[in-house]
Amino acid sequence: MKAGDFSYRRAGDVAEATAALAEAGWDGKAMGGGQSLMPMMNLRLAQPTQLVDVSAVPAMRGVSADAGVVRIGAATTHAEIEDGAVPGRLGQIMAGIAADIAYRAVRNRGTVGGSLAHADPAADWPSALLALGARIVVAGPAGGRTLALEEFQQGAFWVALEPEEIIEAAELDEPGPAARWSYRKYCRKPGEFAEAIAAVLHDPGGGTRVVVGALDAAPALLADGAALIGADLERCRAAVAAVAPGLDDYGLQLHAAMLRRALAEVAA
Amino acid sequence: MSGVSLTVNGRKIAREVADRVHLGDFLREELNLTGTHLACEHGVCGACNVLLNGVPVRACLQLTAACEGAEITTIEGHDDDALMAELRAAFTRHHGLQCGYCTPGMLATARDIVLRLPDADEDRVRLELAGNLCRCTGYQGIVAAIRQVLADRRA
């Protein structure tokens, strides 16, 4: 299984990347670490003719924090986050998520921005960062815009990016000191994509965000999250069924179980 | 085609490569370094793990053209690595391989485990090995070998 033919170009900065993508149109594809895109290309599920490598763009690398807002460059790798690149309480939370993404050899190359742009509903960052209230900084040839992750994520493998746009960074607010967090996922084998995900941020100062992921659609931010804290399995089943009516009983039970555990953990 | 300059096992290499050629094929077919084994070629099995700038990566998911300036170490490049010598001896002692197909990737991961997680217990070793598949040993010998190197280093 080898990728089909394509042209590779490494972008030196954001402007070069977006210009190259604009030139390529729908046949172009931005690549971070390539840990999702390369398997799809090797399997010929994706066949872009122009790859634009953004993994070495300086403005997209690394993490900075200013006035309670943490900016994570899109090309920051999972391994860097696992090893503590993000400061503070948010960093602890994100390190825990990063450590359970795939395997270390994949985490050494895979990036946050790549995962968000790829938008596999069973991946970790789309659900976890939705619960953490991330905003996505998008760059294009005509300038930038910032979207809440719930606006950015449109569906399974579908995000609000035009062909010439890339994710430059994710921005997150540092959770309050009393914030509680839980992230639960069900995988049959460590490192595999999850069959069910629940993520809960319960921040008395900043609100409650409850997310159900690994669906056939984009991860769902539940409308009445705060009311669900400590909910039992029946209420969790109802809450999951409301956002994912297509789940069979097994899938519903898995998602509800993850959700119940996450809601119990933040209530404890 | 892209021009790429990289270092492989300490040797400087400059080549023109087709953009679609991944690092695993480049190592095997251009450089005749056939110790890097390709199996699944979509990032699941870990047989092709090599070191890129000192850390393990999947060679099948790494474009050669994206390796400009990189330092690659394959299984053939560890002759002077003291830790790899310990791991080799431990794999031999504990029967950590049968057919050997997964072994180059296992050793790349094992080296990373010992360096990054010196206090790893058996559960952690098994968790970290989840990204390397072996179809012969049932992992017992591999886990035992890595645990012995960890224990020896802690002693």
Please name the member of B19, B109, B112 whose beta carbon is closest to the beta carbon of A6.
Answer: B19
Q: Best mutation site among A9, A104, A115, A193 for testing chain B: the one with the most B CBs within 10 Å?
A: A104
Give residue A174's pLDDT: 95
Contact at CB, B57 and A42, closer than 8 angstroms:
no
The answer to whether A202 and A190 are in contact (CB under 8 A) is no
Chain mean position to CA B77 = 10
Predicted local distance difference test score (pLDDT) of residue A103? 98
pLDDT of residue B138: 79
HSE (side-chain half, CA atoms, 13 Å) at B59: 28
The burial of A224, by beta-carbon neighbours within 10 Å (0-12 exposed, 13-18 middle, 19 or more buried), is given as exposed
User: What residue ranges do the domains of chain B occupy?
Assistant: 2-77, 82-154
Helix/strand/coil (H/E/C) assignment for every residue in A60-95:
HCCEEEECCEEEEECCCEHHHHHCCCCCHHHHHHHH
d(CA B42, CA A39): 4
Mutant choice from B28, B48, B57 vs A, greatest count of A C-beta within 10 A: B57
A52: tokens are 């634009």
Tokens of B115: 């360096």
> Quick check: helix, strand or coil at residue A252?
helix
- Torsion over CA: A43, B103, B113, B72 (sign): negative
CATH topology match: B2-77 vs B82-154: no
Q: How many CB atoms lie within 10 A of CB B32?
A: 9
Contact indicator for A120, A193 with CB cutoff of 8 Å: yes
Q: Scanning every residue of chain B, which has its alpha carbon at the shortest distance from the alpha carbon of A1?
A: B41
Strands (DSSP E) contained in chain B are 2-8, 11-17, 49-52, 55-58, 71-73
Using the predicted structure, report yes or no on whether residue A204 has a pLDDT greater than 90.
no
- Who contacts B38 (Cβ-Cβ below 8 Å, separation ≥6)? B24, B25, B28, B47, B48, B59, B60
Cross-chain residue pair A43–B42, CB shorter than 8 Å: yes
Q: Which of B52, B56, B127 shows the shortest C-beta gap to A190?
A: B127
Strand order in A63-66's β-sheet?
A: A63-66, A69-73, A166-173, A135-140, A143-148
What is the tens place of the pLDDT at every residue in A119-132?
A: 999 999 999 999 99
Q: In chain B, what residues touch A7 (CB-CB under 8 Å)? A: 19
CB A192 within 8 A of CB A233: no
Q: With CB atoms and an 8 Å threshold, state whether B61 touches A106.
A: yes
Q: Which residues of chain B have pLDDT under 50?
A: none
CB atoms near residue B115 (< 10 Å): 12
Ramachandran angles phi, psi of A18, nearest 5°: -70, -35
Instruction: Say if B66 is an interface residue toward chain A (CB within 8 Å).
Output: yes
Q: What is the mean pLDDT of chain B?
A: 97
pLDDT in tens, A84-114: 999 999 999 999 999 999 999 999 999 999 9
Tell me: pLDDT of A1 over 90. no
**Contact A8/B43, CB-based, under 8 Å?**
no
Which residues of chain A make contact with B128, given a CB cutoff of 8 A? 103-104
Q: Say if residue A205's pLDDT is above 90.
A: no
Cβ within 8 Å, pair B46-A103: yes
Q: Which amino acid is at A28?
A: G
Q: What is the mean pLDDT of residues A228-232?
A: 95
| N- to C-terminal Cα separation, chain B | 51
Percent of chain A with pLDDT over 90: 97
Chain A CB within 8 Å of residue B29 CB: no
- Please tell me which of the candidates A102, A104, A190 has its beta carbon nearest to residue B112: A104
Query: Which chain A positions have a beta carbon within 8 Å of B60's beta carbon?
Result: 38, 42
Q: Are A119 and A159 in contact (CB under 8 A)?
A: yes
Q: Which residues of A touch B25 (CB under 8 A)?
A: 2
Name the residue of chain A whose CA is nearest to B65's CA: A8
Instruction: Tell me if B128 and A104 make a contact (CB, 8 A cut-off).
Output: yes
Which residues in A149-213 belong to E strands, given as ranges?
153-155, 158-159, 166-173, 180-186, 196-203, 207-213
| Spatial distance between the Cα atoms of A263 and A232, rounded to a whole number of angstroms | 9
Strand pairing class (A50-53; A28-31) = parallel
Cβ contacts from A onto B, under 8 A: 94
Question: What's the rounded Cα separation, in Å, for the pair B149 and A163?
Answer: 49
Domains of chain A: 7-53 (3.30.43.10), 61-173 (3.30.465.10), 180-267 (3.30.390.50)
Which residue has better confidence, B7 or A206?
Answer: B7
CA dihedral for A258, A70, A89, A115, sign (positive or negative): positive
Give mean pLDDT, residues A134-160.
97
Cβ(B26)–Cβ(B33) under 8 Å? no
Closest-CA distance, B81 to chain A, in angstroms, reads 20
What is the pLDDT at residue B57? 98
Q: Given a cut of 90, is residue A268 above it in pLDDT?
A: no
For residue A209, report the phi and psi dihedrals to the nearest 5 degrees. -125, 120
> B2-77 adopts what CATH topology?
Ubiquitin-like (UB roll) (3.10.20)
Mean pLDDT of chain A: 97
Residue B36: C-alpha distances to residues A110, B5, B39, B48, B100 (Å):
21, 20, 10, 5, 11
| Residues of chain A that touch chain B, judged by Cβ-Cβ distance less than 8 Å | 1-8, 10, 34-35, 38-39, 42-43, 51, 53, 55, 79, 102-106, 108-109, 189-191
For residue A65, the model assigns a pLDDT of 96
Contact list in A for residue B53 (CB cut-off 8 A) is: none
A6, A40, A108: best mutation site toward chain B, by most B Cβ within 10 Å?
A108
SS3 A138: strand
Q: Does domain B82-154 have CATH number 3.40.50.720?
A: no
The rounded distance, in Å, linking the Cα atoms of B94 and B102 is 16
